[in-house]
């Protein structure tokens, strides 16, 4: 991106949220995080503590923490104080309020969300200030957790995803000589039962602050309840605390069954893959997993106040297959195939059916607006595996549900009339569910076809890489570019705009990630005669776009 097209930078000298120089803030925080990661690898814990203290006291880290909690999906969800930071003035005041002195977290607001098995999962919603404090201390803790993490832990870690965990399963099980037996493990109420004493003794962060969070309690039905164990689901720092509690199992297993590529490991073929609190361990025999591996795992969990769920922990042969992270991993006559699990497909279709049954009289355009993101999200999750048959099946089932929806609201009309009104022919596709655009606009809204989503090969992260170390920076640059290109592969215009900007936001100058949300900004507004040509368009983070259009800038 040329310097003439660069948007103005901001500083905090004018004491305004919209004057913050985000590029400078991110640069300062990243430098300290790199130093923390290096000190962690050198086991210089005194230096780690000193650098963490510097980071959490810096203006830059406080600003980034406030920005995170005011831009994420929960930004409109209040805690027990019913406060949200929805104006620039409130955000600026919040930065000044993030101090350790006199800090006392408020109780969590307890809510429940349904689980797939019909039970309900408790969530604890902290206040905005408590969320921001957690985000602040997370900036100092994450370089430590990344430097000490298990190699094959993929949940709630930067640059790692479910697709990486599934790909590692393929690596461990796909060969002819690979292990044939799999221990599927699930930790019972992981977030609810982690020992507070273990966390306070072993997590390298300020103990007084951590203890306050753990003992804050929660409000339910108007009364305060004490928390004796666990770290609340809903807290920003909770996933990292849980990950750090579960890290170390791979070292215990390797001490017993041999490290990778050693004679001992070839004899037992014990390999470990974890995503959050779900994990699998491979082995050469059922007896090995049940009589030797399982007791070691149970003892490891017991130290941390945890136990395995009996109903979700069992040993399976690879020819029978197993479900992991919504996908089925199985060998068919010696060939490994990973597909969307039947349970996952069924749940996805049930969500669509429930929506259509509860929205019988909404216009077709509203149905398309609701279903398209659901279909796109589900397909993008599964597009890295053998999902083409599942995609075709999903298209067929969605078509049947939409046909029934149309027949129900037009019960007195002929089938031909319904077909002509709602289903069009688009290219080589017949029966495409469509809705006319508003008056003054040409064309129709179209329902996405799952079977048109391209099946692709996932680029798995190298397990030993650390995003906080300078020597691994080039690797993460390449990985980010590969993944960003895949995420934009269906929109070449967007790709060219991003490429013109060197894949960086024009306001904060931070690199785009494949999971980032962005807006398209017109350099010359359309009302002022600006065009939709690439030369007049820029990609910006959503918050940066709002900042640019604020009256301050």
Please tell me the distance from the alpha carbon of residue 188 to that of residue 376, in angstroms, as a whole number: 32
User: CB neighbours of 246 closer than 8 A, spacing ≥ 6?
Assistant: 150, 153, 187, 190, 274, 277, 304
- CA-based angle 441:442:447, to the nearest 5? 100
Task: Provide the CA 213 distance to its chain's centre, in angstroms.
Answer: 23
With a cut of 70, say whether residue 178 has pLDDT above it: yes
Q: What is the DSSP letter of 527?
A: G
Which of 351, 362, 349 has its CA nearest to residue 406? Answer: 362
CB 505 within 8 Å of CB 544? yes
Kind and range of the H or E element at 23? helix 22-41
Count Cα atoms within 13 angstroms, Cβ side, for 368: 17
**Domains of the chain by start residue, with CATH:** 13-147+206-219 (no CATH), 149-194+229-338 (3.30.70.270), 342-452 (no CATH), 470-551 (no CATH)
Tokens found for residue 267: 């004899």
Tokens 């399963």 correspond to what residue? 169
Please tell me the distance from the alpha carbon of residue 447 to that of residue 422, in angstroms, as a whole number: 11
Please tell me the distance from the alpha carbon of residue 452 to that of residue 217, in angstroms, as a whole number: 49
Please tell me the distance from the alpha carbon of residue 229 to that of residue 214, in angstroms, as a whole number: 8
User: pTM to 2 decimals?
Assistant: 0.87
As beta bridge partners, residue 229 has none
Which of 81-85, 351-355, 456-460 is predicted most confidently? 351-355
CB 126 within 8 Å of CB 235? yes
* Helix axis angle, 364-382 to 342-358, nearest 10°: 170
CB 290 within 8 Å of CB 315? yes
User: CB neighbours of 522 closer than 8 A, spacing ≥ 6?
Assistant: 530, 532, 536, 537
User: CB neighbours of 477 closer than 8 A, spacing ≥ 6?
Assistant: none
Q: What is the DSSP letter of 256?
A: H
The per-residue pLDDT for 521 is 82
Q: What is the pLDDT of residues 24-54, one digit of tens each?
A: 999 999 999 999 999 999 999 999 999 999 9
In the chain the first and final C-alpha atoms are separated, in Å, by 21
CB 223 within 8 Å of CB 129? no
Which of 446, 443, 441, 457 has its CA nearest to residue 423? Answer: 446
Q: What is the DSSP letter of 532?
A: S
With a cut of 50, say whether residue 93 has pLDDT above it: yes
Mean pLDDT of the chain: 88
CB atoms within 10 A of CB 319: 11
With a cut of 70, say whether residue 209 has pLDDT above it: yes
Kind and range of the H or E element at 276? none
pLDDT: is 377 or 10 the higher one? 377
Pick the range with the lowest mean pLDDT from 128-132, 262-266, 385-389.
262-266
Q: What is the pLDDT of residues 342-365, one digit of tens each?
A: 999 999 999 999 999 999 999 999
Q: What is the DSSP letter of 518?
A: E
Confidence of residue 293 (pLDDT cuts 50, 70, 90): very high
With a cut of 70, say whether residue 505 has pLDDT above it: yes
Please tell me the distance from the alpha carbon of residue 468 to that of residue 225, in angstroms, as a whole number: 39
With a cut of 80, say whether residue 233 has pLDDT above it: no
Helix (H, G, I), strand (E, B) or coil at 324: strand
With a cut of 90, say whether residue 120 has pLDDT above it: no
The sign of the dihedral angle between the CA atoms of 490, 494, 497, 502 is: negative
Tokens 């020597």 correspond to what residue? 471
User: CB neighbours of 400 closer than 8 A, spacing ≥ 6?
Assistant: none
């Amino acid at each position: 991106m040329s310097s003439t097209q660069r948007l103005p930078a901001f500083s905090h000298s004018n004491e305004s949220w919209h004057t913050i120089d985000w590029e400078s803030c991110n640069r300062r925080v990243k430098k300290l995080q790199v130093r923390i990661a290096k000190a962690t690898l050198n086991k210089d814990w005194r230096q780690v503590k000193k650098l963490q203290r510097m980071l959490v006291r810096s203006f830059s880290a406080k600003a980034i923490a406030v920005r995170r909690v005011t831009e994420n999906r929960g930004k409109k969800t209040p805690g027990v104080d019913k406060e949200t930071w929805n104006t620039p003035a409130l955000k600026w005041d919040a930065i000044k309020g993030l101090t350790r002195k006199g800090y006392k977290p408020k109780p969590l607001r307890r809510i429940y969300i349904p689980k797939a098995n019909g039970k309900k999962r408790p969530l604890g919603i902290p206040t905005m200030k408590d969320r921001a404090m957690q985000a602040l201390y997370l900036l100092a803790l994450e370089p430590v957790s990344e430097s000490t993490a298990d190699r094959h832990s993929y949940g709630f870690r930067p640059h790692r995803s479910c697709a990486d965990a599934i790909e590692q399963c393929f690596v461990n099980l796909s060969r002819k000589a690979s292990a044939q037996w799999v221990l599927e493990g699930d930790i019972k109420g992981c977030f609810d039962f982690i020992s507070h004493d273990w966390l306070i003794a072993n997590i390298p962060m300020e103990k007084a602050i951590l203890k306050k969070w753990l003992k804050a309690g929660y409000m339910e039905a108007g009364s305060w309840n004490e928390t004796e164990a666990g770290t609340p689901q809903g807290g920003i720092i909770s996933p990292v605390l849980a990950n750090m509690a579960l890290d170390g199992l791979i070292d215990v297993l390797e001490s017993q069954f041999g490290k990778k590529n050693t004679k001992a490991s070839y004899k037992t073929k014990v390999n470990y893959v974890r995503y959050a609190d779900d994990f699998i361990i491979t082995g050469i025999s059922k007896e090995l997993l049940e009589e030797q591996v399982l007791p070691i795992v149970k003892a490891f969990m017991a130290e941390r106040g945890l136990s395995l769920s009996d109903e979700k922990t069992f040993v399976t042969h690879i020819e029978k297959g197993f479900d992991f992270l919504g996908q089925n991993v199985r060998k068919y006559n010696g060939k490994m195939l990973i597909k969307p699990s039947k349970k996952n497909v069924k749940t996805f279709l049930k969500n669509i059916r429930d929506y259509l049954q509860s929205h019988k009289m909404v216009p077709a355009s509203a149905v398309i607006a609701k279903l398209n993101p659901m279909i796109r999200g589900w397909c993008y999750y599964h597009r890295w595996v053998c999902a083409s048959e599942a995609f075709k099946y999903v298209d067929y089932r969605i078509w049947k549900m939409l046909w029934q929806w149309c027949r129900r609201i037009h019960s007195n009309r002929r089938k031909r009339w319904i077909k002509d009104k709602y289903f069009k022919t688009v290219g080589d596709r017949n029966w495409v569910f469509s809705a006319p655009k508003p008056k003054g606009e040409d064309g129709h809204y179209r329902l996405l076809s799952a079977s048109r989503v391209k099946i692709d090969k996932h680029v798995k992260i190298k397990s030993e890489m650390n995003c906080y170390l300078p020597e691994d920076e080039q690797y993460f640059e390449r990985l980010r570019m590969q993944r960003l290109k895949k995420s934009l592969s269906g929109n070449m215009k967007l790709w060219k705009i991003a490429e013109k900007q060197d894949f960086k936001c024009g306001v904060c100058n931070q690199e785009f990630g494949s999971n980032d949300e962005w807006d398209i900004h017109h350099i010359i507004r359309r009302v002022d005669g600006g065009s939709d040509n690439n030369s007049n368009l820029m990609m910006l983070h959503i918050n940066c776009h709002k900042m640019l259009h604020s009256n301050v800038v």
